[in-house]
Amino acid sequence: MNVTNLTIRDQEKISLDDIQFSRENREILDQVLREHRHVAELKKYNLPVDNKILLHGHSGCGKTTTAKAIATALGKNIVIVNLSTLVSSRLGETAQNMQLVFEKAMREKSVLFLDEFDHIGKMRVTDDKDSGEIRRLVNSLIQQIDYLPADTLLIAATNYPELIDGALLRRFQLKLKYEMPGVTELDAYYDKRLAVFPAHLTNIERQYGISYAEARDYVNTAMKARIIEELENGEM
């Protein structure tokens, strides 16, 4: 496996202020950032820094964007790995690939983002014939997590935390749940997204009961159609 292309260096600069959070989640993340800005000082007093975070909940509610925003806030590179693509049919290769990913993240002192973290759990459920190999893979992953230094931040994301091995779950000091946004949260999101467009174009019918990602796509589609219509009519 070639891990050199995993690091995103010139990523879009995303701020935590651009993401809709619950108050509790935002307070937790602000504390994480403060800790990582003062790792050396805290280490003098043998105070551990929280560097293992599990983001779980509905798809499209900001888990991947959160990881990118944390990397931006800390001025770190981010290594993004989707476990569903990393896992090989030969589980011994998967453990080796995982080790290479962790070594790269530690070498660069990066943010390591493991998406679809539940994929290991799905393998354990569906592949009884390889249960011994899967246990060894899980144990290898646990060891990699346990040896992660404080200056490397691990963020894992899943829509199905119930599938993850309990021993793996216990390695994460922080677990943040992402809920589907309600009417109030979506209205705030629409207000922010629409504020950059001419006011007379923004009276779109708002959709609810959807994720932030779905709301973003809906706004983008609606505004492109309105802007193109005005351009073609010579009104802009």
Q: Using one digit for the tens of pLDDT, what is the confidence trace for 208-233?
A: 999 999 999 999 999 999 999 999 98
pLDDT, mean of residues 87-101: 76
| Vertex 101: Cα angle to 67 and 213 (nearest 5) | 25
Whether 125 shows a pLDDT value over 60: the answer reads no
How far does Cα 163 stand from its chain's mean position?
A: 18
> What integer pLDDT is reported at residue 9 of this predicted model?
54
pLDDT range class, residue 28, cuts 50, 70, 90: very high
> What integer pLDDT is reported at residue 195 of this predicted model?
95
Note whether 97 and 1 are within 8 A (CB): yes
Residue 202: how many CB atoms within 10 A of its CB? 17
> What integer pLDDT is reported at residue 130 of this predicted model?
56
Higher pLDDT: 200 or 119? It is 200
pLDDT range class, residue 94, cuts 50, 70, 90: confident
In this structure, of 55-69, 119-133, 208-222, the range with the lowest mean pLDDT score is 119-133
User: Could you please report the per-residue DSSP string of the chain?
Assistant: ---TT-EESS-----GGGS---HHHHHHHHHHHHHHHTHHHHHHTTPPP--EEEEEESTTSSHHHHHHHHHHHHT--EEEEEHHHH--SSHHHHHHHHHHHHHHHHHHT-EEEEESTTHHHHHHHH-GGGHHHHHHHHHHHHHHHHT--TTSEEEEEES-GGGS-HHHHTT-SEEEEEPPP-HHHHHHHHHHHHTTS-GGG--PPPP-SS-HHHHHHHHHHHHHHHHHHHHHTT--
Residue 108: how many CB atoms within 10 A of its CB? 16
**Alpha-carbon span 208 to 187, nearest angstrom:** 9
Query: What global pTM score does this model have?
Result: 0.86
Note whether 140 and 100 are within 8 A (CB): no
Strand ordering across the sheet containing 111-115: 7-8, 78-82, 111-115, 153-158, 52-57, 174-178
Q: What mean pLDDT is reported for the chain?
A: 87
> What integer pLDDT is reported at residue 134 of this predicted model?
75
Max mean pLDDT range (4-8, 14-18, 81-85, 206-210): 206-210
**Alpha-carbon span 236 to 205, nearest angstrom:** 22
